[in-house]
Chains A and B, each alone.
Chain A
Amino acid sequence: MSTLTEKRNLLQEFQAAFEQQGLGQNLLRKQALELFVAKGLPGTKSEEYKFTPITRALEKVLSFSTGISENVTPSLLQTIPDLTCNVIAFINGKFSEEHSVILDADVKIQSAKALEPSIDSDPFDLLNQAFANELVEISIEPKKSIQHPVVIIYYFDSPDFVFANPRWSCQMGPQSSASFIEYIQCKGETKYHNNKQSSINVGENAHVEYTVIQNGTRTDLQTNNTRIHLESNSTLSCFTFTFEGQLIRNNLSVIIDGQGVDAQLHGLYLLTNNTIADNHTVVDHRKPNSASNELYKGVIDGNSKGIFNGKIYVRPQAQKTNAFQSNRNILLSENASVNTKPQLEIWADDVKCSHGCTTGQLDEEALFYLRSRGISKEMARGMMLYAFAAETLSTMKNDTVRNFVDGLISEELQKSF
């Protein structure tokens, strides 16, 4: 793209690295790379990335090291405290069978073939497909209810920059249920770009809870392409929490491809330092009689920036759809900012849809009310921000995970206020 600086030509570097790693023998990868090159990296004029300078960030740090170790001490891999769970581990971007732990026999893992790349994909999705080591496929048999959550952990430990392309998918059979948690862990000062692609296909009458916890290092760069496909009478409860990182872009697509579906999307970006967190969500109603509800909240302090773009499509045949979206933000400093944009495209005529977004400061009147009852200013601020933020996790079913995230919220709020 023309907006790239003269210093580096990242597209050429990606191509060279692709050749060097001998990835061109696989035709699908080659196709993906060609499509990626044709699309180019998004510059500041790109409509989808105009607030998110990911290309500039990559120009500063990206490097392709070959000697990245996959051998790490397993004890360093930690999931959420007190959580008994299945673990699927990606070490420096590569799936590690050795460090993955499957407790529930009904969770099956195998290597799978990639699908044909599409020109409609996000450039980072194509980049992932070109560079991903393998597609890890998780399958859950019909009618099986998976007792323990499946934690997908991205672990980084390397002296060199890691350009990581983990890729996984999950097939959930009809009437099954499972919960997934994605989590990044990093040893020391490892610098990385985690360019993830994942998909979950949720069968008829199946239920899924999907939680993403983004609390990486201050130099953490992430681009996540996540696709969830829902069939009739299935339910989704999705949570995306962003606390720390340099630049995080989440593309979350939820495709409602059946009747009687209930999709709940919750998001919280609680940014206290110098983080850019960008959530682009798509809820695509393709069939009638389904419901979606989306609530994303932001608390933004320091020099941080929040971006929310919420697309809702209601296709012509998706009559009797209920689709709601809300994005609410609190800005705590002069330099904090948010860009929010709801985008509703409705072709069906018998639907209930609404959206709303608010951006403001803490309510001074409410602060005074709390203070007038003996509560200090700092504590009153903390109480109000906590109450604002914690609403996003109130419907989470797993107590251990909810308490963990609750703890992260409290910690972030105390750290900075």
Chain B
Amino acid sequence: MLSIKNLQAKIDDKQILNGINLEVKAGEIHAIMGPNGSGKSTLASVLAGREEYEVTGGEVNYLGKNLLEMEPEIRAREGVFMAFQYPVEIPGVSTINFMKTSLNKIREHRGQSALDAVSFLQLMKEKIKLVEIDQSLLSRSLNEGFSGGEKKRNEVFQMAMLEPKLAILDETDSGLDIDALRIVANGVNQLRSKNNAIIIVTHYQRLLEYIAPDFVHVLYKGRIVKSGTKELARELEAKGYDWIKNELALA
């Protein structure tokens, strides 16, 4: 589904990604871990199409197409979804109206007809159960005045509504208490299928206790320096990132 080859990227004049290689197949969950500043969020941002980042080399192939050439909205319509680390507050735009516009744009792209108000509400009611979010929250301005946990649940709710093929969760666990973490993880697990893939970007292992990844990759200084199964995540939790750094220094 996703094939990243020797991806390099910079922001301003700072080189951050120094040649990432990653293969993600449908049905797989990949966790990208790494110490602060290793380039995890940059990787997520480059995949979602954030314009501040300049790709300086390499390629990203998504379902046979060059992902890097697509505008962010086209990536979304093609099935890429990023759950934001810091979801933005947008005053005056309600989550419901926003989701309706978004969903119908994506449906249009897939050659499906727009959902009418009734079917949209039905779908919404079904999906909000997944993340245990209060419906009244969704009539309010997007993320405005939401708690940290509510914002993250809103991200997973949007993911459930849009049914992406490739979901990238950028530090979705940061700032969550244990209950919210469980709810978010539960939502993600229910969306897991053999047809879609999920990339979880995280600093900690704790989310991976709830969402079992097939592969764990450690990012350090803009490169994937170690890959393994979920055992690797446990090892990292126990030994810390210094273990990796030391190992690399020795090598």
| Cβ-based interface call for A80 (8 A) | no
Contacts of A380 in B (CB 8 A): 73
Tell me if A377 counts as interface (CB < 8 A to partner B).
Answer: yes
Query: Which residues of B lie under 8 Å from residue A391 when comparing CB positions?
Result: 91-92
Surface stretch bound by B, among A129-137, A253-261, A364-372: A364-372
Asked whether A390 and B98 contact (CB < 8 A) given A368-B51, A373-B76, the answer is: no
> Could you tell me the distance between the alpha carbons of A371 and B48 in the complex, rounded to whole angstroms?
10
The interface residues of chain B lying within 8 Å CB-to-CB of A371 are 49, 71-73, 76
In the complex, B156 has a CB within 8 A of chain A: no
Stretch at the interface among B82-90, B181-189, B224-232: B82-90
Does A363 make an interface contact (CB < 8 A)?
Answer: yes
* B193 located at the interface, meaning its Cβ lies under 8 Å from any Cβ of chain A in the complex: no
Quick one: closest A residue to B75, CB to CB?
A372
Choice from B81, B84, B89, B105 contacting A375 with Cβ under 8 Å:
B105
Q: Say how far A97's CB is from chain B's closest CB, in angstroms.
A: 43
Q: Is B162 on the interface with A (CB-CB < 8 A)?
A: yes
Please tell me if B77 contacts chain A, counting CB pairs below 8 Å. Answer: yes
Number of A interface residues in the complex (CB < 8 A): 22
| A368→B48 CA distance, assembly (Å) | 9
Contact A377–B73 (Cβ < 8 Å): yes
User: Are A374 and B91 interface neighbours, CB within 8 A?
Assistant: no
A61–B158 CA distance with the chains assembled, in angstroms: 56
Which residue in chain B gives the minimum CB-CB distance to A369? B88
Smallest CB separation, A409 vs chain B (Å): 12
Chain B residues, CB < 8 A from A376: 73, 105
Interface bin, chain B: 20 to 34
Residues of chain A lying within 8 A (CB to CB) of residue B81: 372
Tell me the total A-B contact number using a CB cutoff of 8 A. Answer: 75
A387 and B158: CB pair below 8 A? no
Q: Name A309-354 residues within 8 Å CB distance of B.
A: none
For the complex, give the distance between the alpha carbons of A341 and B178 in Å: 48
Bound Cα distance A391, B49 (Å): 31
Is A388 an interface position by the 8 A CB rule?
A: yes
In chain A, positions 116-149 with a C-beta closer than 8 Å to chain B are none
Using CB atoms, name the residue of chain B closest to A365. Answer: B88
What are the interface flags for B134-152 relative to A under an 8 Å C-beta threshold, 1 for contact and 0 otherwise? Answer: 0000000100000000000
Query: Considering the chains assembled together, what is the distance between the CA atoms of A156 and B91 in angstroms?
Result: 39
B56 part of interface (Cβ distance < 8 Å): no
Q: Tell me if A77 is interfacial: C-beta within 8 Å of chain B.
A: no
Q: Which of A366, A375, A384, A387 contacts B102 (CB 8 A)?
A: A375
The yes or no answer to A379 lying at the interface (CB within 8 A) is: yes
> Which B residues touch A388, using CB under 8 A?
91-92
| A366-B90, A384-B90 known; A374-B84 Cβ under 8 A | no
Chain A residues 378 to 398 lying within 8 A of chain B, measured CB to CB, are 379-380, 383-384, 386-388, 390-391
Counting CB contacts under 8 A, is B106 at the interface? yes
- In the complex, the 9 A-B pairs of residues with the closest C-beta atoms, listed nearest first: A387-B92, A374-B76, A373-B102, A371-B72, A374-B105, A369-B88, A374-B106, A371-B73, A387-B93
Chain A interface residues (CB < 8 Å from chain B): 363, 365-366, 368-377, 379-380, 383-384, 386-388, 390-391
